[in-house]
Amino acid sequence: MNPLRAIRQILFPETCVLCGEPLTHGEETLCHRCIQELPFTGFPFSADNPAARALASKTDIHKATALLFYQKNGISGRLIHKLKYHHHPSVGKRLADFTAPLLRDQGVEFIVPVPLHPKKLRKRGYNQVEHFGRQLARLIHAEYRPSWVRKKANTASQTTKSPLERWQNVIDGFEVNRRRLQSGHILVVDDVLTTGATLAAVIIRLRQALPEARISAATMAFNAYM
Ligand SMILES: [Zn+2]
């Protein structure tokens, strides 16, 4: 531990975001006991696991992985809730630490977060995926590219549309910044993969602009109960 952090730890002891116990040497954001209870999926970064298959039913995907099983009222649900609503962006960073080993030597060059609606971004103050994406980029030596995909401010109401029109509407809700895009192996990151619709919409948008790119995905959690 660096000396400044050691002094800060004495004055303002950091606590585990889940159980509230003081963190000990070497622990960051989460204590070892809580980490042991996390429901890791064990999914490899591959084209054939439940997360990859959920996305492949909607769009072409190179590989995908998801770190944790999402349980709304369980430990992973509480963790994602802390990240989104209780201003604990460090949770994203910590989950990236666990995800990075799966993504090493996979040739990922760019990491693109699923963007937040501008209104939500103003309200929350940060995109909950940002720290996850940035830390992953740092650990696997990829470039973090948050400006490539944008969520449009106005999306038409979903209420009176057919399923196909609704799906088109989700896709139309995102736009890419064509001037900045570069082709290569792109990893799109998000918090929870549920139906995969949001993530697939972003991938479809990127693929329309970059037909040659390899596009993969990684999420912090996978909702297997959908
Ligand atoms: Zn704990």
Q: At 157, which CATH number?
A: 3.40.50
User: Within this chain, do residues 33 and 60 fall inside the same structural domain, yes or no?
Assistant: no
Q: From the CA of 16, how far away is ligand 1's center (Å)?
A: 5
Do 96 and 202 belong together in one domain?
Answer: yes
The token duo for 3 is 């000396």
* Length of the chain as a residue count: 226
| Containing structural domain, residue 11 | 1-37
Ligand 1 centre distance from Cα of residue 134 (Å)? 24
- Classify residue 86 as exposed, middle or buried by CB count within 10 Å of its CB (0-12, 13-18, 19+): exposed
22 CA to middle of ligand 1, Å?
A: 8
- Does 215 share its domain with 191? yes
Q: Are 136 and 103 a contacting pair, CB within 8 Å?
A: yes
Give yes or no: residues 86 and 180 share one domain.
yes
Q: Are residues 123 and 153 in the same domain?
A: yes
Same domain, 213 and 178: yes
Query: Are 52 and 74 found together in one domain?
Result: yes
How many structural domains are present in the chain?
A: 2
- Taking only the tens place, the pLDDT of each residue in 205-214 is 999 999 999 9
Ligand 1 centroid–CA 65 distance in Å is 25
Residue 192 CA to ligand 1 center (angstroms) comes to 21
**8 Å CB contact between 65 and 45:** yes
Is 122 found in the same domain as 102? yes
Q: What is the pLDDT of residues 114-144, one digit of tens each?
A: 999 888 888 888 898 999 999 999 999 999 9
Q: Could you tell me the pTM of the whole model?
A: 0.92
Residues 181 and 124 in one domain: yes
